[in-house]
Chain A
Amino acid sequence: MSPLNSSNPCLPKTHFLKVPTFDPFFKFKSFSFNTHIPPNRAHALSFSINSKLKSSQDIQNNKGKKGVSQKIVLSEVTPPPLTENNDDINGGSGNGNENVPAKSRNKRGVSGLAKMLSKRTLQILSNLPLAIGEMFTIAALMALGTFIDQGEPPEHYFQQYPEDHPVLGFFTWRWVLALGFDHMYSSPVFLGMLVLLGASLMACTYTTQIPLVKVSRRWSFLHSAETIRKQEFSESLPRASIEDVGTILMGSGYEVFLKGPCLYAFKGLAGRLAPIGVHIALLLIMAGGTLSALGSFKGSVTVPQGLNFVAGDVLGPTGFLSSPNEDFNTEIHVNRFFMDYYDSGEVSQFHSDLSLFNMDGKEVMRKTISVNDPLRYGGITIYQTDWSISALQILKNNEGPYNLAMAPLQINGDKKLYGTFMPIGDVNSSDVKGISMLARDLQSIVLYDADGKFAGIRRPNSKLPININGTEIVILDAIGSSGLDLKTDPGVPIVYAGFGALMLTTCISYLSHSQVWALQDGTSVVIGGKSNRAKMEFPEEMNRLLDKVPEIVQSSLSEQAGGIRG
């Protein structure tokens, strides 16, 4: 008994004293309850008292008979505050917007009208079917956006969706261009739907979810066996005591509240509140995304090794909120560009060694960046995204070095190909012949002679000369250029906060809010309960737990006081 008492602050001591005073006491009590049902509240089937006590300590303060009497007074004097919200307690699922209009009747006048209007808007916005419709529309628009080629010039759409052969009988380029579906994800239709969805999210959070918090923070006792039996799960245990049930529920992580013969226990309340967090996280992401779209700078640049550029020259604003800062004067110098290769010769990674100089020409930062490892300075982020070959450095007949500019020959597809041409003989003649050099990466250069025949492969740095058409060529170096993307994005911290919150709250939302009511009815205990998500696991869990409840044998009951549980 004592370990139970210490581990269980919610169970008032007096309850243990009640156990020996068995049947007559309980029967009398349930009888006395029935007499207190006011006739005008008969429709409620039971009278449920919703105590607003916030914590288990409060219960302890109202120990024993004082608590009981106070409770009876409560039922007579104050009408149960939650009668209109009873659906919320029992149904639990987001139909809470029905309680809103009841309160707005009293207000009159202009301000009242405005309030009515805003309430009405809220009500419409928080309508679940509307929200579902919005989500469907957004999903459909996004899907459409992947089928229609995005960001092409109008001529493309004239050709693809001609007026004489409309897709599906009506869909022509006029639709595409009028609705802005050539840039779907920034089209007014799509953005409008997103805004509407955001408004719905806010309205739903305000009208449905927040009231739900208030409701679920109170815990309610059910005082009639009938109501308890009407729960999704119900069971009646003969010869059991409600304290045992309480202890066992507590043992499996329930918060247990006892008051007289009534027990209320719940678990996983966070699972019921987390969807609010999900909505708020989504709003955060939307806000961050908006800020990103309006307040960013973006730009990309291809810089040959050894050259430099100023960040502000590359960065261009994306929206009217974009405002440059002094970090835009930073000068970025590409010290070195190099690539890693697999054994098979494929490119595995590429790196740029960057130095950042401020206005005074002082180096403020130096970092070697690669794909997946960007550089961050001030608000500017520099990404390694691409590469190309800018030039070949060669010695021709031991003269030079000359730089031959490389041109991309193959842009589409996985493999890149660069080439250059070195004329031999008379450059001014109409039929210039020369040596062609091709490279897929910075590793090896393939050389072809003036007739287009394969002449050989040379690695830069090998210093190995090759003699083609009487010209001796040494390839000194292949100079790569680094493809860099620059960005400032003030929305990222907000979006990331939203991401974190969304992940966390989605996980918590998996928890199921389980509620258990029990009532000592004579020697037997009536138990009922429900769970909002784990509807399959909950009855199993309850059956498992209730199997553990010890059966009270009459003789031992009369002999020992509270020692049965030992």
Chain B
Amino acid sequence: MIFSTLEHILTHISFSVVSIVISIHLITLLVNEIVGLYDSSEKGMIITFFCITGLLVTRWIFSSHLPFSDLYESLIFLSWGFSIFHMIPCLQNHLSTIIAPSVLFTQGFATSGLLTKIHQSAILVPALQSHWLMMHVSMMILSYAALLCGSLLSVAILVITVREVIQIVRKSNNLYFLNELFSFAEIKYINLNERNNVLQKTSFFSYRNYYKSQFIQQLDRWGYRIISLGFIFLTIGILSGAVWANEAWGSYWNWDPKETWAFITWTVFAIYLHTRKNKKLEGVNSSMVASMGFFLIWICYFGINLLGIGLHSYGSFISN
């Protein structure tokens, strides 16, 4: 009882802190001068991180197994992964505007009514009782977090580039929201640079365009870095899963839907990494590939689980 209360408290704290952080982000974008608020949003993310960590630990103690066994727990872990990437100091300025909403969405989705049925921490079916569980699932979810961050950056590049060409895109509601989000990020980035007094020589006319291309380049390079990191996690995750599968049900590769989709995701991000090798394909093409990867991760993560097919539909393991 105490555990579930604690869990509730922590969930709500983290959720509300993230919401506050996001509103702070929006405020700082509208009113540039308040630096103090920006700092407090950083602190807010740290509080969120500790809350989610506490949440995971509580569940761990409560259910006496690692909290990776169902969708709810993996979502919480995903937002924990996001907040970890947020904590990496060198990324903070560039990414917080993208990561904070991601944490909010995953956290919100995890706690929303959609998944109430599986809130109760379930028992581990026999096949999940393995040391590989921790390795495989944590690596997979960390890789999802990193790849989602990286491919969101690529989506941002696409949105910025496309917006230059076609203004009509704004009419679409969803994209409009994305646009807002990323133009905020852009404005903030410009402000940051303004403060640093970098490159004052640039004339006022080309000022915006210059920073736009600079900003796109920055996004591109950070995206590449984060996706490479996520790719490492994904590789380790898939391979440890394969080794585990060889231990648990006798074959390291079964062409199970989830496995297949993880492999498709892997292939697509491998393509992304290769497009970076070629000067001709770099830029918009590679970000298109990465944005494709963004949707593939969601299919791989949710689609397969919600369809409930294959061996990975958490719960209906092994007992065919």
Interface residues of A (CB under 8 A from B): 91, 93-95, 128-129, 131-132, 135-136, 138-139, 142-143, 145-146, 150, 184-185, 289, 292, 298, 342, 344, 346-350, 370-374, 381, 383, 385-386, 413-416, 485, 487, 489, 492, 495-496, 499, 502-503, 506-507, 509-510, 533-537, 540
Check if B129 sits within 8 Å of A128, measured CB to CB.
no
Q: Which of B126, B129, B281 has the most chain A CB atoms inside 10 A of its CB?
A: B126
Interfacial residues of chain B within 274-320, with CB under 8 A of chain A in the complex:
274-275, 277-279, 281, 315-316, 318-320
Does residue B124 face the partner (Cβ distance < 8 Å to A)?
A: yes
Pair count A-B, CB < 8 A: 135
| Cross-chain contact of B271 among A135, A142, A415, A540 (Cβ < 8 A) | A135
Q: B318 and A132: CB pair below 8 A?
A: no
> Are A139 and B268 closer than 8 Å at their CB atoms?
yes
Other A-B pairs beyond A135-B268, A145-B255, A348-B126, 14, CB < 8 Å? A93-B277, A128-B274, A128-B277, A129-B281, A139-B264, A143-B261, A150-B255, A292-B252, A347-B126, A350-B126, A371-B126, A414-B315, A502-B235, A540-B90
Query: Chain A interface mostly helix, strand, loop or mixed?
Result: mixed
Q: Choose among B129, B250, B263, B277 the residue that contacts A142 (Cβ–Cβ < 8 A).
A: B263
The 17 listed contacts between A and B (C-beta, < 8 Å) are A93-B277, A128-B277, A128-B281, A132-B275, A135-B268, A139-B268, A146-B257, A185-B255, A347-B319, A348-B129, A349-B129, A371-B129, A372-B132, A383-B248, A495-B252, A506-B236, A537-B225
In the bound complex, CA of A185 to CA of B259 (Å): 13
Q: Shortest beta-carbon distance, B196 to chain A, in Å? A: 13
**Distance A298 CA – B246 CA, assembled complex (angstroms):** 13
**B40 sits at the interface (CB 8 A):** no
Given contacts A135-B271, A348-B123, contact A414 B316 (CB under 8 A): yes
Which of A289, A372, A413 is in CB contact (< 8 Å) with B247?
A372
Q: Let me know if B243 is at the binding interface, CB within 8 A.
A: yes
* Cross-chain contact A386 with B225 (CB below 8 angstroms): no
| Interface size grouping (class) on chain B | 35 or more
Task: Give residues of chain B (239-262) contacting chain A, Cβ–Cβ below 8 Å.
Answer: 239, 242-244, 246-253, 255, 257, 260-261
Q: How far is the CA of A298 from the CA of B251 in the complex (A)?
A: 10
Which residues of A lie under 8 Å from residue B239 when comparing CB positions?
499, 502-503
CA distance A499 to B241 in the complex (A): 11
Q: Is the CB of A385 within 8 A of B235?
A: no
Complex contact A146–B252 (CB within 8 A):
no
For A346, the chain B residues whose CB sits under 8 A away are 123
Complex CA gap A347/B126 in Å reads 8
In the bound assembly, the distance between CA atoms of A132 and B272 in angstroms comes to 9
- Establish whether residues A487 and B250, one from each chain, have CB atoms under 8 Å apart when the complex forms: yes
- Find A485's partner among B90, B243, B250 (CB 8 Å cutoff): B250
Chain B's interface: helix, strand, loop or mixed, by majority?
A: helix
Q: Which residues of the partner chain B approach A537 to less than 8 Å between Cβ atoms?
A: 90, 225
Return B57 CB to nearest CB of chain A, in Å.
Answer: 22
Question: Can you name the residue of chain B whose Cβ is closest to the Cβ of A487?
Answer: B250
Collect the chain A residues with CB atoms within 8 Å of residue B315's CB.
414
Cα A28 to Cα B263 with chains together (Å): 61
Indicate if the CB atoms of A496 and B243 lie closer than 8 Å. yes
Interfacial chain A residues near B249, Cβ < 8 Å: 383, 385, 485
Docked pose: A499 CA to B279 CA in angstroms:
30
Knowing A507-B232, A533-B224, the reply to whether A372 touches B319 (Cβ < 8 A) is no
Bound-state Cα–Cα, A227 to B99, Å: 40
In the complex, whether B231 has a CB less than 8 A from a CB of chain A is yes
Instruction: Looking at the assembled complex, report how far the CB atom of A509 sits from the nearest CB atom of chain B, in whole angstroms.
Output: 8
For the complex, give the distance between the alpha carbons of A349 and B317 in Å. 12
Encode B118-158 as 1/0 by CB contact (under 8 A) with A. Answer: 00000110110110100000000000000000000000000
Name the CB-closest residue of B to A128.
Answer: B278
A381 to B251, CA, bound (A): 11
Give Cα distance in the complex from A186 to B253, angstroms. 13
Q: Which residues of A contact B242 (CB under 8 A)?
A: 499
A289 contacts B271, CB within 8 Å? no
Instruction: Collect the chain B residues with CB atoms within 8 Å of residue A129's CB.
Output: 278, 281
Q: Can you list the 10 inter-chain pairs with the closest CB atoms, starting with the nearest?
A: A371-B126, A372-B130, A383-B250, A139-B267, A485-B250, A499-B239, A185-B255, A146-B257, A506-B235, A535-B221
